[in-house]
Amino acid sequence: MSDARDSTEMTADVQIFLRDKIKSHEHLDVLLVLRSQRSRTWSAKTVAQAMQVRVAVVAEVLDQLCDARLVVRSGDTDHRFQYGPADQALSELADQFFRAYEHNPAGVMSLMNARALDRVRGEAIHRLANALVFGHSEKK
């Protein structure tokens, strides 16, 4: 019986990178598109067309990836984006992650799915606890 973490063959640092920087499948997909042509600058619209998803979804993800320091705004306006980790250490972690993904995409996806499920469960527990606390205090 092996769990998803064993099947990805990722180091602890790369798993932390995944947890902290790649929050969803959309994050991964956008990075894959941008990384496929590193020197190209992209608009949210062209990324959305490449992924066949809504521009609004891609625009939000691009902003989040800029905040995560994996993507940079480029060109004369802030409406163009390019793959570009902020420093050498982040670039090396990203490269290690993408090597793990290329070697075992199913394992990486499994780990991403497990983490997403953990987040959903945590949020549900937090909401339930708040409802019980606030519901209980209103009855007094």
Tell me the pLDDT tens digit for each residue of 24-74. Answer: 899 999 999 999 999 999 999 999 999 999 999 999 999 999 999 999 998
Query: Class of 10-103 per CATH?
Result: mainly alpha
Kind plus residue range of the DSSP H or E element containing 83: strand 80-83
pTM of the model: 0.75
Q: Do 40 and 13 form a contact (C-beta atoms < 8 A)?
A: no
Tell me the pLDDT tens digit for each residue of 105-129.
988 888 887 776 666 666 777 777 7
Domain ranges of the chain: 10-103, 104-140
